[in-house]
């Protein structure tokens, strides 16, 4: 039965059904894993959290970037195994970053890696942001000529700053330092 108000008797052109069926078979099986996870959470909780909405935004809009498109095609099992390896005890900061490198979006090892590790352990890590990097000269001794672009160096400096700030009475974490530099 045609759609009411539509002049078309049939919507599909001849041969379109076969073409669409072929295209559907090419849809990457791992692509919708994030969508399925959010769906399960929505059904279980009867509502969405900000994290659910952020995951949907990421799933819907970020695939426009090449690295996110590539990440969407990586199976969740690979993501879990890779991130678990990066979170293993007793790794150096550089080893943690290198463990994430096989995942699309982590090969350069800065912004996304710093957000990942900070979410995992804000007592040891901070988010690296260009704004914080630009503002550091306002707060850091000119005697420090280190490159804070290198993520392990950045974290080492945040840890040292947290220690120095804590010795003045308040308990600081690397995350608190990066937040203060960002503002």
Q: Domain range spanning residue 52?
A: 33-107
- Domain assignment present for residue 77? The answer is yes
Q: How far apart are CA 179 and CA 173, in angstroms?
A: 10
Residue 168 located in a structural domain: no
Mean pLDDT per 10-residue interval, the chain, length 183 residues: 71 80 87 91 91 87 80 91 95 95 85 90 92 86 89 93 86 93 86
CA angle in degrees (0–180, nearest 5) for 163-169-173: 40
| pLDDT value for 135 | 84
What integer pLDDT is reported at residue 4 of this predicted model? 76
Q: Is the residue at 18 inside a domain?
A: no
Q: Output the CA torsion sign for 89, 91, 96, 99.
A: negative
- Whether residue 47 is contained in a domain is answered as yes
Q: Within a domain: residue 2?
A: no
The answer to whether position 1 is within a domain reads no
Tell me whether residue 144 is in a domain.
Answer: no
Q: Which secondary-structure segment (H or E) carries 179?
A: helix 174-182
pTM of the model: 0.78
CB 8 within 8 A of CB 2: yes
Count of structural domains, the chain:
1
Task: Please count the other Cβ atoms lying within 10 Å of the Cβ belonging to residue 29.
Answer: 8
Q: Which two tokens stand for residue 135?
A: 């503002």
43 φ, ψ (degrees, to nearest 5): -65, -45
Give the long-range contacts of residues 57-61, CB within 8 A, separation 24 or more.
Answer: 58/34, 59/32, 59/34, 59/35
Task: State residue 109's pLDDT score.
Answer: 59
In a domain, residue 181? The reply is no
pLDDT for residue 168:
67
């Amino acid at each position: 039965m045609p759609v009411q108000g539509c002049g078309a008797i049939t919507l599909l052109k001849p041969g379109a059904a076969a073409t669409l069926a072929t295209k559907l078979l090419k849809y990457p099986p791992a692509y919708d894993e994030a969508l399925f996870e959010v769906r399960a959470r929505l059904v279980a909780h009867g509502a969405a959290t900000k994290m659910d909405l952020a995951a949907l935004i990421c799933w819907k809009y970020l695939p426009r970037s090449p690295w996110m498109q590539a990440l969407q095609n990586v199976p969740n099992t690979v993501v879990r195994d890779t991130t678990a390896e990066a979170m293993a005890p007793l790794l150096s900061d550089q080893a943690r970053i290198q463990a994430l490198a096989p995942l699309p979006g982590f090969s350069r090892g800065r912004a996304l890696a710093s957000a990942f590790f900070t979410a995992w352990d804000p007592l040891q890590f901070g988010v690296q942001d260009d704004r914080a990097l630009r503002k550091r000269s306002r707060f850091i001794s000119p005697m420090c000529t280190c490159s804070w672009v290198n993520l392990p160096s950045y974290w080492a400096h945040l840890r040292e700053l947290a220690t120095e700030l804590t010795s003045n009475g308040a308990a600081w974490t690397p995350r608190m330092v990066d937040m203060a530099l960002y503002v």
